């Protein structure tokens, strides 16, 4: 390494000397955050959250892309940022100076493009969280993992912007505008169908008509007969329109059977809400089971069953004797 090059590095601002390790560290935090969410989603586990809003947001239609958890794509993005930031550091500058220089130049551009796209996408998701969840539900609509990811994305962008002496600011600005516009247009197109009713499907909506979930699975004869049997014996499923587990419970019945499924809407702002009935039932459930009242909760033949139930379990608990070749499963 020449003396002049060493002097320039020593006189460079500290943020430029440590930018790559810092970017890599923030990206690793993002990896841990999104990996946890991805594993939880793929294993149908419950996400730890102080406000309860994490599960509500992370199980909404906005948290799934192409049938896969959105967190999975976030995980891949953070892995890419970590590789772009740290890979050049593995090349010894004194032995492979040209390779190291080329890698740094190319990865800085990739870091800028990636962090710009992540910043725009995170900004859109934050606006969705606040308008669709925080404003209607207050603190219970806050997804802390989502907020953390947005902070990580913003930090990556700032560190990338300040992490080196960019030669052509005008070109950088132009590139950022193009990347930002492409990301925003793609994001709007991706989420355009969310919240809209699907013809021929069973749309689960709030009292104002906002679509939260859509059931498109069809019902077999066994599902239809079981739903009618549950209705006939006075069984009830206590649920809330925003509850992801309630959606999954309804989903295994299928669109045709849901027309007869006896459920009680407990959300105060839900369609045909019966909040008072749910509050009375909550006291009975906690007294009988010793567990907090949650969604969904089944009441069958005078007994309460908390959580999701398979169709076979519902058939057994209700004394159903009809066809049991159920086609839908969790």
Q: What is the CA radius of gyration of the chain?
A: 26
The predicted model gives 47-71 an average pLDDT of 80
Domain 202-318 has CATH 3.40.30.10: yes
Task: Give the model's pLDDT for residue 56.
Answer: 73
Q: How many Å from the N-terminal Cα to the C-terminal Cα in the chain?
A: 62
The predicted model gives 179-206 an average pLDDT of 88
The residue assigned the tokens 């149908």 is: 44
HEC string of the chain equals CCHHHHHHHHHCCHHHHCHHHHHHHHHHHHHHHHHHHHHHHHCCCCCCCCCCHHHHHHCCHHHEECCEEHHHHHHHHHHHHHHHHHHHHHCCCCCCHHHHHHHHHHHHHHHHHHHHHHHHHHHHHHHHHHHHHHHHHHHHHCCHHHHHHHHHHHHHHHHHHHCCCCCCHHHHHHHHHHHHHHHHHHHHHHHCCCCCCCCCCEEEEECCCCEEEEECCCCCHHHHHHHHHHHHCCCEEEECCCCHHHHHHHHCCCHHHHCCCCEEECCCCECCCCHHHHHHHHHHHHHHHCCCCCCCEEEECCEEEECCCCHHHHHHHHCCCCCCCCCCCC
Task: Give the model's pLDDT for residue 42.
Answer: 84
The predicted model gives 245-274 an average pLDDT of 92
Task: Give the model's pLDDT for residue 120.
Answer: 97
From-to residues of CATH 3.40.30.10 in the chain: 202-318
The predicted model gives 241-254 an average pLDDT of 88
CA torsion angle for 35, 163, 103, 98 (degrees, to 10)?
Answer: -150
pLDDT of 249 higher than 70: yes
pLDDT of 10 higher than 60: no
Least-confidence region, from 99-108, 113-122, 273-282: 99-108
pLDDT, one tens digit per residue, over 210-231 is 788 888 889 999 999 999 999 9
Confidence band for 313, pLDDT divided at 50, 70 and 90:
very high
Task: Give the model's pLDDT for residue 173.
Answer: 94
pTM of the model: 0.72
pLDDT, one tens digit per residue, over 108-142 is 999 999 999 999 999 999 999 998 888 877 887 88
Neighbours of 188 (CB within 10 A): 10
> Which of 133, 122, 322 has the alpha carbon at shortest distance from 232?
322
The predicted model gives 182-200 an average pLDDT of 87
Residue 146 CA: distances (Å) to CA of 27, 49, 75, 152: 15, 11, 13, 10
Which CATH architecture fits 12-191? Answer: Up-down Bundle (1.20)
Confidence band for 329, pLDDT divided at 50, 70 and 90:
confident
Mean pLDDT of the chain: 89
Confidence band for 4, pLDDT divided at 50, 70 and 90:
very low
pLDDT of 233 higher than 60: yes
More confident residue, 104 or 85: 85
> Which of 148, 197, 194, 145 has the alpha carbon at shortest distance from 41?
145
Confidence band for 24, pLDDT divided at 50, 70 and 90:
very high
More confident residue, 178 or 167: 178
Question: Omega of the bond prior to 296 within 30 degrees of 0, cis?
Answer: yes
Task: Give the model's pLDDT for residue 2.
Answer: 44
Task: Give the model's pLDDT for residue 1.
Answer: 44
Residues of the chain with pLDDT > 90, as a percent, come to 57
Task: Give the model's pLDDT for residue 289.
Answer: 86
Task: Give the model's pLDDT for residue 194.
Answer: 79
From-to residues of CATH 1.20.1440.130 in the chain: 12-191
Q: Which residues pair with 214 in a beta bridge?
A: 203
More confident residue, 10 or 93: 93
Task: Give the model's pLDDT for residue 248.
Answer: 87
């Amino acid at each position: 390494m020449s003396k002049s090059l060493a002097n320039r590095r020593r006189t460079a601002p500290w943020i430029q000397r440590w930018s790559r390790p810092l970017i890599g560290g923030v990206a690793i935090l993002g990896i841990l955050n999104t990996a946890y969410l991805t594993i939880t989603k793929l294993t149908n586990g419950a996400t730890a959250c102080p406000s309860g809003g994490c599960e509500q947001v992370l199980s909404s239609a906005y948290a799934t892309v192409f049938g896969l958890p959105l967190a999975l794509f976030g995980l891949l993005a953070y892995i890419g940022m970590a590789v772009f930031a740290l890979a050049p550091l593995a090349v010894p500058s004194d032995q492979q100076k040209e390779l190291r220089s080329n890698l740094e130049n190319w990865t800085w551009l990739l870091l800028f493009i990636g962090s710009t796209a992540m910043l725009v996408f995170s900004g859109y998701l934050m606006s969705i969280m606040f308008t669709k969840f925080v404003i209607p539900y207050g603190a219970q609509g806050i997804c802390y993992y989502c907020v953390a990811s947005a902070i990580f994305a913003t930090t990556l962008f700032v560190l990338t912007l300040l992490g080196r002496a960019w030669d052509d600011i005008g070109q950088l600005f132009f590139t950022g505008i193009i990347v930002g516009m492409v990301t925003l247009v793609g994001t709007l197109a991706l989420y355009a169908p969310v919240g809209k009713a699907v013809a021929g499907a069973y749309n689960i909506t709030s009292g104002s008509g906002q679509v939260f979930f859509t059931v498109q699975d069809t019902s077999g004869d066994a599902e239809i007969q079981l739903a009618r049997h549950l209705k006939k014996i006075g069984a009830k499923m206590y649920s809330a329109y925003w509850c992801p587990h309630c959606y999954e419970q309804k989903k295994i019945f299928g669109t045709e059977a849901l027309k007869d499924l006896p459920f009680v809407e407990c959300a105060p702002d839900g369609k045909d809400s019966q909040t008072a009935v749910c509050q009375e039932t909550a006291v009975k459930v906690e007294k009988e089971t010793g567990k907090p009242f949650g969604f969904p909760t089944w009441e069958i033949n005078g007994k309460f069953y908390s959580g999701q139930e398979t169709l076979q379990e519902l058939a057994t608990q209700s004394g159903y004797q009809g066809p049991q070749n159920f086609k839908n499963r969790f």
